[in-house]
Structure 1
Amino acid sequence: MTHLATVGLDGPFFADPDELYQKLRLESPVVRVITPIGLHAWMVTRYEDVRPALNDPRLSKSAARFAEILEQRSIPPDSRIQLADSVAGHMLNTDPPDHTRLRKLVNRAFTVRAVARMRPRIEEIANRLADTMAAKGAGEATVDLIDEFAFPLPMTVICELLGVPDGERDDFRAWSNTLLSFSPQQERIAAAGAMRDFLTRLVADKGANPGDDMLSAIVQASEDGDSLSPGEALSMAFLLLVAGHETTVNLIGNGVLALLRHPDQLAALRADPSLIPNAVEEFLRFDGPVNLATLRYTTEPVELGGTMIPAGEVVLVSLVSANRDPERYREPTELDVTRDASGHVAFGYGIHHCLGAPLARLEGEIAFRTLIERFPDLALAEEPQRLVWRQSMLIHGLTRLPVHL
């Protein structure tokens, strides 16, 4: 097997990661890469290596050592802000037993049964947003589907679930976009500070004036005599707010784009709406909302894909690449809403499998059903090659999606 030299992950990679992934899966499935902030890491691209890597206890996610590892790699403190911040100590960045304890405290709020009870309210939100879209898109007017539907749907749901006031939701979106992208350092520092201040106030208010919402319950949570510290509650609020909307925003945006570029598949869903839940799984596989899973590092030498990765190395695991692996899925670059897409890793795998996956699936199903029923003439208002993708290692999604209704 040929091993490529260190691969730079730059602008073209974010616009079309599959072009690079096809080459890497064939020639160098575990490869050295350098990120836009200058971080050297190993990237894993084949399904057969990605799935076990996501659940390998030797690949740690503990935030506690990340600052040290980044310092060893001469990553400037300003560039580390999105990786090792005071709100980073949530369950996604912990290993057992801390991870087990934190997840147990919030797990019951995201069970399939608990999420199913939210269907009427999510449908109500989706229809209200569709009404607003229809008014704005009357005549030949162009509507940005991200701004008008894909973002406000999951953001409204998670904010209502957590008890976040209306006033700062757009600010939170801007802070999240800045922190998850390669924005200028001063912008990321400002966004991190503003988000931290906002969440600190929010958590303190829930502690002093608890309401009938999930964040109040989390702040007050206890399980077997355990409870969250103030710092853990702050980090949990950060994780649930960011993860609670980012995944679904890009599931909807990427899925609508895929349908509009594959009119035969859109026609199939119009003819048989019962296919929509299965189609959501195919959208997650075909062009998922998360490109590279959150960072891991080796606690000892680990062999992946025939390559020995030394201890203390950062590892990037590509969910998008694994889901396009022809060894796992027949004709993976083809969109097929009738495909059995089970086994995809769009929500991760193992102990860190996305806690909010049932909610994202339900929101996705309702979103696509609403759009298909309400807008029979939905069409792209921009050439696909002119669409702009977010410059992010983590998030795979569009900045805008202009459509005609």
Structure 2
Amino acid sequence: MLSRQEPPAYPFEPGDGLELHPRYAELLGRPLSRVRLADGSQAWLAVRHADVKAVLSDPRFGLAEAKGWAEERSEGAPPGNGGLMSLDPPEHTRLRSLVGGAFGARRVERLRSRAQEVAEELLDRIVESKQPSVDLMERFAIPLPTTVNCELLGVPDEYGRFWSWVEATLFGASTAEQLRRAAAAFASRTAALVALRRDTPGDDLLGSLLQACDRDGRITEKELSALVGDLLVAGFVTVARQIAVSLYHLIGRPDMLSRLRAHPEQIPRAAEELLRYVQLIESTLPRRAGEDVRLGGVLVRAGEIVVPAPAAANRDPAVFPEADRLDLARNDGAHLGFGHGAHYCLGAHVARLELQVALETALRRLPGLRLAVPPAELRWTTEGIAAGLRELPVTFDRRVGGVGCR
């Protein structure tokens, strides 16, 4: 049992794969709990679905103030970049309005045919290769969203291929000085991209942002670079890792995999359940109470920090019966995989589309899909904004004289 006198250290030690730490199961039966953060300070941890949802949507819990608080306690850490992920309304609302139209459901749906085309081309190369196994992370899960998102943003495709640099340099930083240098290098690359596009304007999202900056004066140069950086990293990293880990879970459950192959119309619902079940982001950015707030029966005092844990909220049995079971027939779409409130994921519609296309195409084109190594040999990472697999080595049944089902 947890001691009431000594708050546990947070974040909890990661377990095997992305399994949720067992301590969350105990905390789900309580109101808010106190935890001890890495710098020794204390914060409230919100894990129940209703509490996490409230923290993410109640404007009395400020994101910008909490980010400044966190930076003060992280010696040498770079300051927030001023993008969407570090601002509260009204600044957040102003910036989000500039890009929100490009990510609306109807407009995004027009990308489906292009996403399908990219997925087919990637799997053509995989099926036609003579290799006994293939890394689906490198060859499929990463290039699918990066290609689609680069085209949506109007970014040269080579910028979608700096995944390894971002992962090794920005997410792999182990000291404050390394993190500072990595953040500066990333900012420099983003600024170079903006400069390049100024020389070659286009009718796309980045083009409209440049217009908002250069012609209309609606955003500053710093805000422009921050927005581009947010859209690049968030759009590539989280979706790629979601695709890979979702395929991993299906491969480990051959009955589910076979059912989806036979009934591809069930893939959209299955994708929602995988978004709930897969724990890519254990806890999100902390919030700071701007005034006294009663949350989950607990009084949070003005100035206190609350850490929302959406991964735990997505396993709350009060909302999801048998929450620890992957159930592709589950109808409840109340998961918090894309957050909630003002900071609900801007690219949620794009991510859903790309995940659906990836699952349907991979299951159809790769018969007999299975891991090429024992599960215990897979390498996982918890670095960066989202956890996931470092690689997904697989093999499949090759068709004689053909390139697989289309």
TM-score between both structures, scaled by the size of structure 2: 0.88
Give the structure 2 partner of residue 125 of structure 1.
118
Q: Is the 8 A contact 1:390 1:397 kept in 2?
A: yes
Give the structure 2 partner of residue 24 of structure 1.
27
Aligned-partner Cα distance in 1 for 2:285–2:225: 19
Q: Is the 8 A contact 2:273 2:327 kept in 1?
A: yes
Q: Is the 8 A contact 1:182 1:391 kept in 2?
A: no
The amino acid that maps onto 1:114 is R
Q: Do residues 201 (structure 1) and 192 (structure 2) align?
A: yes
Give the structure 2 partner of residue 323 of structure 1.
314
Listed as ranges, the gaps of 5+ residues in structure 1 are: none
The amino acid that maps onto 2:7 is A
Give the structure 1 partner of residue 59 of structure 2.
57
Which residues in structure 2 correspond to 1:254-273 (within 5 Å)?
254-273=245-264
Aligned-partner Cα distance in 1 for 2:148–2:373: 29
Aligned-partner Cα distance in 1 for 2:372–2:26: 32
Q: 1:316 to 1:392 in 2, by over 3 A?
A: farther
Listed as ranges, the gaps of 5+ residues in structure 2 are: 397-406
The amino acid that maps onto 1:352 is H
Q: How many residues align?
A: 392
Give the structure 1 partner of residue 222 of structure 2.
231
Aligned-partner Cα distance in 2 for 1:282–1:347: 13
Residue of 367, 377, 396 corresponding to 1:376: 367
Q: 1:17 to 1:152 in 2, by over 3 A?
A: same
Q: 1:312 to 1:383 in 2, by over 3 A?
A: farther
Q: Do residues 34 (structure 1) and 37 (structure 2) align?
A: yes
Q: Is the 8 A contact 1:69 1:312 kept in 2?
A: no
Structure 1 residue 40: Cα displacement: 4.8
RMSD: 2.6
Give the structure 2 partner of residue 76 of structure 1.
75
Q: 1:198 to 1:247 in 2, by over 3 A?
A: same
Aligned-partner Cα distance in 2 for 1:38–1:152: 40
Aligned-partner Cα distance in 1 for 2:32–2:393: 36
Q: 1:275 to 1:18 in 2, by over 3 A?
A: farther
Aligned-partner Cα distance in 2 for 1:381–1:310: 52
Aligned-partner Cα distance in 2 for 1:387–1:31: 34
Q: SS of the counterpart of 1:339?
A: coil
Q: Is the 8 A contact 1:2 1:27 kept in 2?
A: no
Aligned-partner Cα distance in 2 for 1:196–1:57: 29
Structure 1 residue 239: Cα displacement: 0.8
Greater fraction helix = 1
Aligned-partner Cα distance in 1 for 2:168–2:340: 25
Q: SS of the counterpart of 1:221?
A: helix
Which residues in structure 2 correspond to 1:201-220 (within 5 Å)?
201-220=192-211
Aligned-partner Cα distance in 2 for 1:11–1:132: 39
Structure 1 residue 217: Cα displacement: 1.2
Residue of 117, 137, 146 corresponding to 1:146: 137
Residue of 151, 175, 181 corresponding to 2:166: 175
Structure 1 residue 308: Cα displacement: 3.1
Q: SS of the counterpart of 1:164?
A: coil
Which residues in structure 2 correspond to 1:155-194 (within 5 Å)?
155-176=146-167, 178-180=169-171, 183-194=174-185
Q: SS of the counterpart of 1:315?
A: strand
Aligned-partner Cα distance in 2 for 1:56–1:39: 23
Q: Do residues 46 (structure 1) and 48 (structure 2) align?
A: yes
Residue of 93, 100, 109 corresponding to 1:116: 109
Q: SS of the counterpart of 2:94?
A: helix
Between 1:240-249 and 1:12-21, the stretch displaced more is 12-21
Between 1:162-171 and 1:258-267, the stretch displaced more is 162-171
Aligned-partner Cα distance in 1 for 2:297–2:374: 41
Paired-residue identity, %: 36
Q: 1:297 to 1:120 in 2, by over 3 A?
A: same
Q: Is the 8 A contact 2:31 2:298 kept in 1?
A: no
Q: SS of the counterpart of 1:308?
A: strand
Residue of 80, 85, 91 corresponding to 1:92: 85
Residue of 285, 288, 302 corresponding to 1:294: 285
Q: SS of the counterpart of 1:367?
A: helix
Q: 1:18 to 1:266 in 2, by over 3 A?
A: farther
